[in-house]
A and B are shown apart, each in its own frame.
Chain A
Amino acid sequence: MAPLRGCSGLLLTLTLTLPWALAPSPFPGASFFPHWDYCVLGAGPAGLQMAHFLGQAGRSYVVLERAAAPGSFFTHYPRHRRLISINKRYTGKVNSEFNLRHDWNSLLSSEPRLLFRHYSAAYFPHARDMVRYLGDFADRLGLQVRYNTAIVRVTLSKHPRAWNGHFFILTDHRGQGYQCSVLLVATGVSIPNEIDFLGSEYVEGYESVSIDPEDFAGQNVLILGRGNSAFETAENILGHTNFIHMVGRSRIRLSWATHYVGDLRAINNGLLDTYQLKSLDGLIEVDLKDIAVVKDSEGRLRITLPILVERADKNASAQAVPLPQDEVDNFAMRVPYDRVIRCLGFTFDFSIFSDTLGLAPGKGRKKKYPLIKASYESKGTRGLFVLGTASHSVDYRKSAGGFIHGFRYTARVVHRLLEHRHHGIPWPSLVYPITQLTNTIIRRVNEASGLYQMFSVLADIILLKEKATGFEYLEEYPIRMLAELETLTGREARHGLFVVTMEYGKNFSGPDKDVFHFDRAVWDVEDAWQSNFLHPVIYYYHCLPTEKEMASRAPGWPLPRPVAIHHIVEDFLTDWTAPIAHILPLRRFLENCLNTDLRSFYAESCFLFALTRQKLPPFCQHGYMNMQGLMGNEELRRHGIESGLMEDYSAIDEQPADQKPGDPATPVHPSQHATSIKEEL
């Protein structure tokens, strides 16, 4: 769509700052509000990331941001200002894609200066550096953001010529309207989660509680919550309080045990240490609905049970309210508290979306997130996508989609899906000859950051060409949308496919499990399928799984049962380039799936095959027959002969061989002509 159609090409190509907003809607009969094809709500990391992709593709878009600058969440949160996303500045490698595997803060761009390591030297950076980074990201890339624009209402307006049958009408706090074809919601989770219970009015919230440890000196503190914000708060005041008790419904989930970065990170878990080392601090498992807080005559807070409060007289003071210890005198929370702090996380702000949008909360633990499909599109409204932290319902407690290092990739997924849906641009792919199959997979599993961060959520898809002469490689496709791949990407999957993912062992980790158990590492290539640590897994299918098959996957399986599966054995260094342990088993797997021989050969071996056999292996067919191949030199030939890869033909003399005449001509065992595995790479 080009609102300024008719202007010179120069204008359209050069002007990044085209004032789209001034252009009236190009759709006759539509509203008179300024129109954009894409509206992004929120200039946080996800919104800016999406804006960058849209800008790069030359799309009409705007980012609407309530605050005066990007990343306003980070101006206040985390309250104690230390980010728990790691800023690994050194990996010893120059591969920029690989380095993103260990960079949890940068957004994706081709600008090397916009890497977070240039913004902070701290392993766990200060939140202000994130604000500064996001500001630079928006500025340097010239992203179109309207600041100080708070959207207070989002409604639908049906229109037959709109991309999705309707427009999104946004209204800001000044009453100004905006019309968009596609709405990308990147507003994060901004509303502190509150639980209503008796006495909740006595509770202070994480969002406003003092962060000066001196304010807690000599106090008894009760913290409600079990997440990183609760522990971060505790960590800050640990040395000033008499003691801290922490209350939460479920048992503690340590991120190193669950591999989920949203669980309690080791950097915040000082209290666990002091609890178990008998230093008065402690954890208690109880549902917050089962407690009540009352104030005693001295103004201190007492924990009791709702049932006891209800029984007592409504106007009774705390002294009159029966306390659990009246009956059970060793009740754990019988001491009075000076403060009760609520650290229960955040919820998505549903309030601005009109009911007609059908943007409903998820179920159970996911109710803080809007319900969306694995394509990040709302289940209720076509054309409404959720990005960033708010999109975490797709992989909550599984992968990294709720965090910058995960959602920077899922934003790209959404962008690619939209490019195909609305602009006819198929999912980007590269076509290779089949001889490059092993190489290509090895390269990706060793460097791809999207597969690594969004393990079990995003996968590379290899679509085979007819007769498996070549393949098309699609990167980082949402694995749960596999059944709809053809319609969503515009690519054909008629001749079979491989799916490349990264996975942890199925039964390895979890809140109760000992992830440090002896013999946890799998070394033997034959046991690769039992690998525990993150490792590459390759699925082979003859055809795309159907939606029904996707829906009825076996528990723990990201995909339906494949025709064949291969695990590349876990590696301590996450370096899967070992010729014998990693590459050879992979090549054999691929060969057996495709029923062909994928080895590489010296030109001399191809020459021999060309004159002694009617058919050539793919490598010779693709390379040698096109006048390409490794001729090498005398040294290389000697190496080939010494390592048993080639026969020393000059040593063949004129002695008749023992073979019976009439045997079918089988020259030398073909394996003897394979170049070494190293040379194959």
Chain B
Amino acid sequence: MMSSRLNIWIYISFVLICVFCKSIARNRNTLMELSPQEYFSILQTGKTSLVYFSQDVSLDITIFLEELKKAAGPLHNYGISVAKVNCAKEEASRYCGRENDWTKAYLFRGNILLREFPTDALFDVNAIVANVLFALLFNEIKYITSLEDFENIENAMKGKTNIALIYVRAIGTPEHRAVMETAFVYGTAYQFVLTTETALLEGIGAENSDVISGSLFFFHCKLVLDLTQKCQKTLLEQPLTILNIHRFLKLMDAPLLTEITEDPEKVSTIHLQLGLPQIFILSQENTYEMDKRTAEIVAWRLLGKAGVTLLLKDSSDLNIPAHINVIFKRAKEGVPVDFLVLHDVNSIISLVENNIPIQNNESVKEYEEGEMETLNLGVSNMIFSRINCGDWSNVCTKQNVTEYPVIKIFKEGEKPVIYTGMLETEYLLKFIRLNGISCPVKIVTIEEAEEYLNGELYKELTSYSSVSVLGIFSSSMIKEKENFIEAGKNLKGFVITGFYSEEDALILSKKYAVTLPALLFARHKEGNIDSILLSNSDAKDIIQIIKRALLGIFPEITVENLPIYLRLQKPLLILFRDDNLNHKDEKEMLPLVKQKYLETLIPCWLNVKTTPVGRGILKAYFKHLPPLPLLVLVDLHSQGQVSAFPLDQTINEKNILLWLQRLEAGLESHITTLSDEEWKPPLPAYNFLSRMDATVPYTEIAQFPIQNMLRCAKTTDLQQHDKGHSEDKLGKNSI
């Protein structure tokens, strides 16, 4: 019953730890070493004691003695003293004599022998405490082996006492000890029932319980008055430790449903004290009975997980909005309560039970591991985890995840945020870091505003957002400010935004020479600040204004940012380089860029070294790789024409302008025109219909002419594609 491989291992490890330990003490709290005479005088006091009689101390016994020593303290707490009696060689009493084989320990109450234990059964401190208490609690704790035994107890307890049914893997395990220690305290309050039979668990319909270590079921029999009815049961979902059991029993003892009229903010309940949430269901006089029943249903389902209280609205003078029907209070102090409108019991339950199973024990792919590591380095206060929606499809559905992969950030007390950008470490890191501050930031002093603008305020974040946006409003511009706040929230994670709307906003207005309301753009890299007037702009407009201001005037095109520029629907004037921009390029290009003439174009540059796919693009334009630098005009949106600045000319302001004018006048020829071909299926599909027809012609089995079946099809069978019917354009016409 008690020897399992695990125990042997515990045993061996204790051998290693304890073999060199040696200490002797006479404190009651520890193992007493007594002579037989001393011992027998103690017996007369009528106390309970666990005694080992020893003569020679062999190695095996040393280990036992060490464990016995450890057990002395805990057992003393229950009024049990532990002693080792040193028998003299010549001693010949009953316990010290020859017949004693030194492999037993004895439990006495006064001088009555209650039990003798083989030292094997007392293999460690847990086993000693568990076995001794188990023996003393013989009447309080029923040990059973069959379902029938249990059903008899259950029937006997109905209407009288609740039952704690405990399964442990074996006698003497740490779980067993925890149960015994608890039973010592609660022994009379409940009927404790102990079993080591897993079959019994299955019999009560609890196969899902923890058969590895142990489990505890609380049977609510006291409430059951109808003897044909089963007792409801609640499973302790935590491991069997003294603390967990104690806490659990306390929760089971708490009233199922309480009623209050006070302010939930000020109420303290046993659940809150134990770190569990409290749910207040609001009720009024005319619906009281029904609300109470609802609350009871909720309470039963949340038993052991949260407290439920009926808040009587009519008899309280609380100012709670009329439509609110549930208040949710967390155990954490200082966290305000949530006022909720919930439409069914399940939503109340899910408030408490909405914990997401997270799968993180699976071996993470090398790629993701690398990314995670980088992210972990950048963001230390966040836990990264993955959910495989293939396994947890119900969780993903609940989270409204329909495309993969999706990254969501969950923060206590906040709505989850979905990351909508590129799957790229730097971008994600930026998003996470910028999400760390509450955008837009409220700036309250002029000094703070200056710090914000010169990048001091969020120094560590300016590398993620090279532009900080500050909205300035006079204190009366309420609507304008609200629009800006909405825009700032929308851009959260992408750019730092802040606003200033104090009385002295005019100081900033004067300093940056703008009339209010206005936006200031502090470009930290360039070290300059521009301003834009905001007149009659709603949140959407403001978002557009900010987004536009974030675009560079002569940007480097990368894989990540191209879509932003493509959205502007203008031809791209791209300078291909195989390195970074040099001073000369800038000297030629920057004045050009600022000219009105180029407003219809997007002048930009591309570094084929950092964006190697640029070479592929050049190869597509030229069929080979031309020498760089090279200037190309790509008109993606009207004709798809690509023109190249003549290779034999120097790239300078004057020549470029001239070339652009000649292009416009149609004097320059294009090097290529981009294909406007649709993206068709790359390969044909298996035509199963024709294969079936080849076996059994459909016309033979059809009871209906096929043509009618396809009446909304413009032409014939689509899958004749792979038969080479080139006139088949059906898919295109019909969908």
Chain A nearest Cβ from B427, distance in angstroms? 7
Q: Compute how far the CA of A14 lies from the CA of B689 in the bound complex, rounded to whole angstroms.
A: 55
Indicate whether B402 reaches chain A with its CB closer than 8 angstroms: yes
Number of A-B contacts (CB under 8 A): 330
Indicate whether A467 reaches chain B with its CB closer than 8 angstroms: yes
B402 touches A629 (CB 8 A): no
Q: Compute how far the CA of A132 lies from the CA of B202 in the bound complex, rounded to whole angstroms.
A: 14
Indicate whether A567 reaches chain B with its CB closer than 8 angstroms: yes
Which residues of chain A (113-145) have a CB below 8 Å from chain B?
117-121, 129, 132, 140, 142
A-chain residues with CB within 8 Å of residue B732 when the two chains form the complex: 595
Indicate whether A211 reaches chain B with its CB closer than 8 angstroms: no
B-chain residues with CB within 8 Å of residue A585 when the two chains form the complex: 685-686
Indicate whether B9 reaches chain A with its CB closer than 8 angstroms: no
Chain A nearest Cβ from B337, distance in angstroms? 17
Indicate whether B290 reaches chain A with its CB closer than 8 angstroms: yes
Indicate whether A624 reaches chain B with its CB closer than 8 angstroms: yes
B679 touches A597 (CB 8 A): yes
Indicate whether B1 reaches chain A with its CB closer than 8 angstroms: no
B-chain residues with CB within 8 Å of residue A132 when the two chains form the complex: 205, 230
Q: Compute how far the CA of A410 lies from the CA of B208 in the bound complex, rounded to whole angstroms.
A: 29
The stretch of B90-98, B483-491, B654-662, B699-707 that contacts the partner chain:
B699-707
A-chain residues with CB within 8 Å of residue B325 when the two chains form the complex: 9-10, 13-14
Q: Residue B205 contacts which of A11, A129, A603 (CB distance < 8 angstroms)?
A: A129
Indicate whether B723 reaches chain A with its CB closer than 8 angstroms: no
Which residues of chain B (528-566) have a CB below 8 Å from chain A?
559-560, 562-564, 566
A591 touches B685 (CB 8 A): yes
A432 touches B624 (CB 8 A): no
Which residues of chain B (649-704) have a CB below 8 Å from chain A?
672-689, 691-692, 698, 701-704
Which residues of chain B (470-521) have a CB below 8 Å from chain A?
none
Closest residue of chain B to A597, judged by CB?
A: B679
What are the interface flags for B373-407 relative to A under an 8 Å C-beta threshold, 1 for contact and 0 otherwise? 00000000000000001111110000000111000
A-chain residues with CB within 8 Å of residue B58 when the two chains form the complex: none
A627 touches B345 (CB 8 A): no
B205 touches A119 (CB 8 A): yes
Closest residue of chain A to B301, judged by CB?
A: A140
Interface size class of B (residues with CB under 8 A): 35 or more
Indicate whether B619 reaches chain A with its CB closer than 8 angstroms: yes
A542 touches B713 (CB 8 A): yes
Q: Compute how far the CA of A612 lies from the CA of B620 in the bound complex, rounded to whole angstroms.
A: 7
What are the interface flags for B206-217 relative to A under an 8 Å C-beta threshold, 1 for contact and 0 otherwise? 111000000000
B681 touches A567 (CB 8 A): no
A627 touches B421 (CB 8 A): yes
Indicate whether A156 reaches chain B with its CB closer than 8 angstroms: no
Indicate whether A630 reaches chain B with its CB closer than 8 angstroms: yes
Chain B nearest Cβ from A352, distance in angstroms? 29
Which residues of chain B (705-728) have a CB below 8 Å from chain A?
706, 708-713, 717-719, 721
Closest residue of chain A to B692, judged by CB?
A: A529
Closest residue of chain B to A625, judged by CB?
A: B563
A-chain residues with CB within 8 Å of residue B389 when the two chains form the complex: 443
Chain A nearest Cβ from B380, distance in angstroms? 21
Indicate whether A308 reaches chain B with its CB closer than 8 angstroms: no
Indicate whether B625 reaches chain A with its CB closer than 8 angstroms: yes
Q: Compute how far the CA of A653 lies from the CA of B718 in the bound complex, rounded to whole angstroms.
A: 43
Q: Residue A665 contacts which of B394, B564, B611, B620 (CB distance < 8 angstroms)?
A: B620
A-chain residues with CB within 8 Å of residue B391 when the two chains form the complex: 93-95
Q: A610-B636, A625-B563, A667-B616 are in contact. Are A594 and B287 (CB under 8 A)?
A: no
Q: Residue A15 contacts which of B205, B291, B634, B684 (CB distance < 8 angstroms)?
A: B291
Chain A nearest Cβ from B459, distance in angstroms? 27
A561 touches B702 (CB 8 A): yes
Indicate whether A351 reaches chain B with its CB closer than 8 angstroms: no
Indicate whether A545 reaches chain B with its CB closer than 8 angstroms: yes
B735 touches A16 (CB 8 A): no
Closest residue of chain B to A4, judged by CB?
A: B287
A-chain residues with CB within 8 Å of residue B673 when the two chains form the complex: 664-665
Q: A14-B325, A549-B704 are in contact. Are A665 and B675 (CB under 8 A)?
A: yes
Closest residue of chain A to B572, judged by CB?
A: A611
B207 touches A95 (CB 8 A): no
A542 touches B710 (CB 8 A): yes
What are the interface flags for A1-44 relative to B under an 8 Å C-beta threshold, 1 for contact and 0 otherwise? 00000011111011111110000000000000000000000000
Chain A nearest Cβ from B442, distance in angstroms? 29
B301 touches A10 (CB 8 A): no
Indicate whether A616 reaches chain B with its CB closer than 8 angstroms: yes
B-chain residues with CB within 8 Å of residue A110 when the two chains form the complex: 346
Q: Compute how far the CA of A648 lies from the CA of B624 in the bound complex, rounded to whole angstroms.
A: 15
B675 touches A614 (CB 8 A): yes
Indicate whether A58 reaches chain B with its CB closer than 8 angstroms: yes
A612 touches B294 (CB 8 A): no
Q: Compute how far the CA of A169 lies from the CA of B704 in the bound complex, rounded to whole angstroms.
A: 44
Indicate whether B371 reaches chain A with its CB closer than 8 angstroms: yes
Q: Residue A564 contacts which of B563, B718, B729 (CB distance < 8 angstroms)?
A: B718
B282 touches A118 (CB 8 A): no
The stretch of A176-184, A342-350, A631-639 that contacts the partner chain:
A631-639
A56 touches B344 (CB 8 A): yes
Q: Compute how far the CA of A650 lies from the CA of B711 in the bound complex, rounded to whole angstroms.
A: 53
B-chain residues with CB within 8 Å of residue A47 when the two chains form the complex: none
The stretch of A198-206, A317-325, A452-460, A654-662 that contacts the partner chain:
A654-662
The stretch of A213-221, A251-259, A417-425, A552-560 that contacts the partner chain:
A552-560
Closest residue of chain A to B564, judged by CB?
A: A627
A-chain residues with CB within 8 Å of residue B563 when the two chains form the complex: 610, 624-627
Which residues of chain A (78-127) have a CB below 8 Å from chain B?
89, 93-97, 110, 117-121
Indicate whether A312 reaches chain B with its CB closer than 8 angstroms: no
Q: Residue A631 contacts which of B202, B301, B559, B704 (CB distance < 8 angstroms)?
A: B559
Chain B nearest Cβ from A372, distance in angstroms? 24
A529 touches B566 (CB 8 A): no
A631 touches B682 (CB 8 A): no
Q: A564-B718, A657-B624 are in contact. Are A615 and B678 (CB under 8 A)?
A: yes
A-chain residues with CB within 8 Å of residue B423 when the two chains form the complex: 628-632
Q: Compute how far the CA of A567 lies from the CA of B563 in the bound complex, rounded to whole angstroms.
A: 38
Q: Compute how far the CA of A547 lies from the CA of B423 in the bound complex, rounded to whole angstroms.
A: 48
Q: A9-B323, A652-B616, A665-B675 are in contact. Are A631 and B341 (CB under 8 A)?
A: no
A657 touches B623 (CB 8 A): yes
Closest residue of chain B to A448, judged by CB?
A: B393
B682 touches A659 (CB 8 A): no
A592 touches B718 (CB 8 A): yes
Indicate whether B225 reaches chain A with its CB closer than 8 angstroms: no
A529 touches B675 (CB 8 A): no
Chain A nearest Cβ from B501, distance in angstroms? 31
Q: Residue B402 contacts which of A430, A525, A555 (CB distance < 8 angstroms)?
A: A430
B393 touches A555 (CB 8 A): no
B-chain residues with CB within 8 Å of residue A552 when the two chains form the complex: 702-704
Indicate whether A668 reaches chain B with its CB closer than 8 angstroms: yes
Closest residue of chain B to A68, judged by CB?
A: B228
A593 touches B205 (CB 8 A): no
A-chain residues with CB within 8 Å of residue B433 when the two chains form the complex: none
Q: Compute how far the CA of A582 lies from the CA of B672 in the bound complex, rounded to whole angstroms.
A: 40
A649 touches B612 (CB 8 A): yes
Indicate whether B366 reaches chain A with its CB closer than 8 angstroms: yes
- Give me the 3 closest cross-chain CB pairs, A-B, nearest first: A595-B731, A631-B424, A591-B681
Binding site for A on B (CB under 8 A): 202, 205-208, 230, 281-284, 286-287, 290-291, 293-294, 297, 301, 322-323, 325, 341-346, 357, 366-367, 370-371, 389-394, 402-404, 420-425, 427, 559-560, 562-564, 566-567, 572, 608, 611-617, 619-621, 623-627, 634, 636, 640, 642, 672-689, 691-692, 698, 701-704, 706, 708-713, 717-719, 721, 729-732, 734-735
Q: Could you list 10 examples of A-B contacts with CB < 8 Å? A: A15-B290, A436-B403, A496-B734, A540-B718, A610-B566, A613-B676, A618-B679, A652-B619, A654-B627, A667-B620
Q: A525-B686, A545-B709 are in contact. List 20 more A-B contacts (CB 8 A).
A: A9-B341, A11-B287, A96-B393, A447-B393, A496-B735, A552-B702, A561-B689, A588-B684, A589-B685, A593-B718, A594-B731, A596-B681, A603-B422, A607-B559, A610-B562, A610-B563, A613-B677, A614-B640, A647-B616, A667-B620
